[in-house]
């Protein structure tokens, strides 16, 4: 098999690359590769495929570039047989009990196996715990295809590092970790990714090492944010402004710059569970990682409890209050609502019979309703509030002057009766104090 010629054939145009999974990760990869080589973009979501074909990027990751891309978008799995280099970028969520949900990866493996041709290289980018690619994906592909891995086709792993909504750290300027099952496949995989990764690639010795890189780097961030969330809770009890403490700490050269907040999304809020689940199977119970997850998973309820306390102190009955919540996506300036911890705020408020009115013009209304049962309201149609919780740092909220924020409240309230919960510390402390409103920030 001429595995070592795939790169040259891709560049010459005699072979194609295929992307399996065209969400926040896969679609930008497909679009970038299509600037240089022939690309088939496959996704089982027919609606998504039609949107891309129509020049609509619902992920907002490439924007207007979707209209000019040469990606051959399709929902026909048989088209994968036309490609010799296949990249898999399907989601890897967790189940209700926080154990890894490998159904998307297994489904993609089955689809690839049914359409695999001899001489192909398959590279997984989906975040998994070490061993999944070789122990779970390879056997499925072999069974479905009847082709032997290492002889008829080869496998690789390159963890995705795309940061949704980030216009600075984009696909091409983030160093890419790459690996292959042997020297030949590793060399070829590196050359293919070097076509688009300007920051360069970083080869590691095994697939398991590459898989570990991703879950470890995100677990590290999760733990650091958990520490900051603990600091925020301690400072809150001490009557100290956390933001000011961190600003002072960050004047030191070796400060890490982390901030407290809600930790959701498809990576940081999920990957630690993949790592600890794999460790537990080997007889090791996490001492730090799971405790960090416990802290971060509790922050939505903590924010909701703080809002209720502030409302009571302002003299209102929370059950009768009109609570407006701004933002439901898992991070700012991004339409992605996967594993949003803002939902934890909503659910905690509901425990106290409070039905918040939620607005987020970035988020998809259908997804918010389907996934969380939340009916989003246009910002301009929001009712006047007793309490406003600004949960996500969208630019639209960050740029609101204090007078505009006050206009969100009921006209008959004194300033001291207006409760503002600033989860992301978007507003200056001196402006908040001067406003006369009752405020709290994480």
Which of 294, 291, 326, 333 minimizes the C-alpha distance to 307?
A: 326
Is the pTM higher than 0.75? The answer reads: yes
**Both 28 and 60 in a single domain?**
yes
H helix count then E strand count, the chain = 17, 13
Q: What pLDDT was estimated at residue 169?
A: 72
Domain assignment present for 404: yes
Domain assignment present for 131: yes
Q: Provide the domain limits for residue 269.
A: 221-297
List pLDDT tens digits, range 338-372: 889 999 999 999 999 999 999 999 998 999 999 99
| Chosen domain end from 160, 184, 207 | 207
Mean pLDDT of 14-41: 95
CATH number at residue 364: 3.40.50.720
CA–CA separation, 85 and 15 (whole Å): 8
Domain assignment present for 213: no
**Both 56 and 172 in a single domain?**
yes
pLDDT band at 62 (very low <50, low <70, confident <90, very high): confident
Whether 109 shows a pLDDT value over 90: the answer reads yes
Q: Answer for the pair 28, 162: CB distance below 8 angstroms, yes or no.
A: yes
**Both 140 and 284 in a single domain?**
no
Q: Is 20 helix (H, G, I), strand (E, B) or coil?
A: strand
Q: What pLDDT was estimated at residue 353?
A: 95
Domain assignment present for 214: no
What are the start-end ranges of the E strands in 195-346?
201-203, 323-326
Distance (Å) of CA 417 to CA 314, 353, 414, 436? 5, 20, 5, 9
Mean pLDDT of 366-381: 93
How many CA atoms lie less than 13 Å away from 341 in the CB half-sphere? 27
Buried b / exposed e along 208-229 (16+ C-beta atoms within 10 A): bebbbbbbebbbebbbbbbebb
**Both 355 and 292 in a single domain?**
no
**Both 161 and 54 in a single domain?**
yes
Percentage of the chain beyond pLDDT 90 is 87
**Both 159 and 75 in a single domain?**
yes
Q: Average pLDDT of the chain?
A: 93
**Both 258 and 363 in a single domain?**
no
**Both 305 and 335 in a single domain?**
yes
Q: Answer for the pair 222, 278: CB distance below 8 angstroms, yes or no.
A: no
Q: What pLDDT was estimated at residue 1?
A: 64
| Chosen domain end from 297, 328, 361 | 297
Domain assignment present for 216: no
Tokens of 140: 């499925």
Domain assignment present for 212: no
Q: What pLDDT was estimated at residue 217?
A: 94
Q: What pLDDT was estimated at residue 165?
A: 67
pLDDT band at 64 (very low <50, low <70, confident <90, very high): confident
| Chosen domain end from 172, 207, 242 | 207
Mean pLDDT of 299-311: 96
List pLDDT tens digits, range 275-285: 999 999 999 99
Q: What pLDDT was estimated at residue 166?
A: 65
Domain assignment present for 327: yes
**Both 256 and 402 in a single domain?**
no
List pLDDT tens digits, range 321-342: 999 999 999 989 988 898 899 9
Q: What pLDDT was estimated at residue 170?
A: 77
How many CA atoms lie less than 13 Å away from 356 in the CB half-sphere? 30
Q: What pLDDT was estimated at residue 65?
A: 87
CATH number at residue 269: 1.10.1040.10
pLDDT band at 265 (very low <50, low <70, confident <90, very high): confident
**Both 246 and 331 in a single domain?**
no
Question: Which long-range contacts (C-beta less than 8 Å, at least 24 apart) are formed by 65-68?
Answer: 65/31, 66/27, 66/31
DSSP 307: H
Distance (Å) of CA 296 to CA 98, 269, 334? 14, 8, 20
Mean pLDDT of 287-316: 95
Q: Mind telling me the catalytic residues? A: 267
Domain assignment present for 319: yes
| Three-point CA angle 358, 361, 363, nearest 5° | 80
**Both 44 and 156 in a single domain?**
yes
- Counted domains in the chain: 3
**Both 240 and 142 in a single domain?**
no
Number of C-beta neighbours around residue 426 at 10 A: 19
């Amino acid at each position: 098999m001429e595995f070592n010629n795939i790169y040259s054939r891709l560049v010459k145009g005699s072979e194609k690359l295929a992307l399996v999974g065209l969400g926040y990760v896969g679609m930008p990869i497909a679009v970038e590769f299509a600037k240089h080589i022939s690309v088939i973009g496959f996704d089982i979501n027919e609606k998504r495929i039609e949107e891309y074909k129509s020049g609509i990027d619902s992920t907002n990751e490439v924007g207007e570039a979707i209209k000019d891309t040469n990606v051959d978008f399709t929902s026909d799995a048989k088209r994968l047989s036309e490609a010799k280099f296949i990249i898999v970028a399907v989601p890897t969520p967790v189940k209700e009990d926080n154990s890894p949900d490998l159904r998307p990866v297994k489904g993609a493996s089955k689809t690839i196996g049914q359409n695999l041709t001899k001489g192909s290289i398959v590279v997984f980018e989906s975040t998994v715990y070490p061993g999944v690619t070789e122990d779970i994906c390879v056997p499925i592909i072999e069974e479905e295809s009847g082709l032997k891995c290492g002889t008829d086709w080869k496998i690789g792993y390159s963890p995705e590092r795309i940061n949704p909504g980030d216009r600075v750290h984009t696909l091409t300027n983030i160093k890419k970790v790459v690996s292959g099952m042997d020297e030949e496949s590793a060399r070829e995989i590196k050359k293919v990714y070097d076509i688009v990764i300007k920051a360069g690639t970083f080869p590691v010795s095994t697939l398991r090492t590459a898989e570990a890189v991703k879950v470890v780097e995100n677990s590290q961030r999760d733990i650091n944010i958990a520490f900051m969330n603990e600091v925020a809770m301690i400072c809150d009890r001490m009557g100290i402004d956390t933001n000011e403490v961190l600003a002072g700490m960050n004047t030191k050269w070796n400060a890490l710059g982390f901030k407290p907040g809600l930790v959701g999304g498809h990576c940081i809020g999920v990957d630690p569970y993949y790592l600890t689940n794999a460790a537990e199977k080997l007889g090791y119970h996490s001492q730090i990682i799971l405790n960090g997850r416990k802290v971060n998973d509790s922050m939505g309820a903590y924010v909701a409890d703080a809002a209720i306390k502030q409302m009571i102190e302002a003299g209102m009955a929370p059950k009768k209050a009109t609570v407006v919540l701004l933002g439901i996506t898992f991070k700012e300036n991004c339409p992605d609502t996967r594993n949003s911890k803002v939902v934890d705020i909503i659910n905690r408020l509901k425990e106290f019979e409070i039905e918040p009115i939620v607005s987020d013009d970035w988020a998809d209304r259908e997804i918010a309703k389907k996934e969380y049962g939340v009916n989003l309201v246009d910002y301009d149609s929001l009712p006047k509030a007793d309490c406003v919780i600004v949960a996500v740092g969208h630019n639209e909220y960050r740029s609101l002057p204090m007078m505009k924020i006050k206009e969100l409240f009921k006209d008959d309230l004194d300033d001291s009766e207006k409760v503002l919960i600033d989860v992301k510390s978007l507003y200056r402390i001196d402006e908040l104090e001067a406003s006369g409103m009752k405020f709290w920030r994480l």
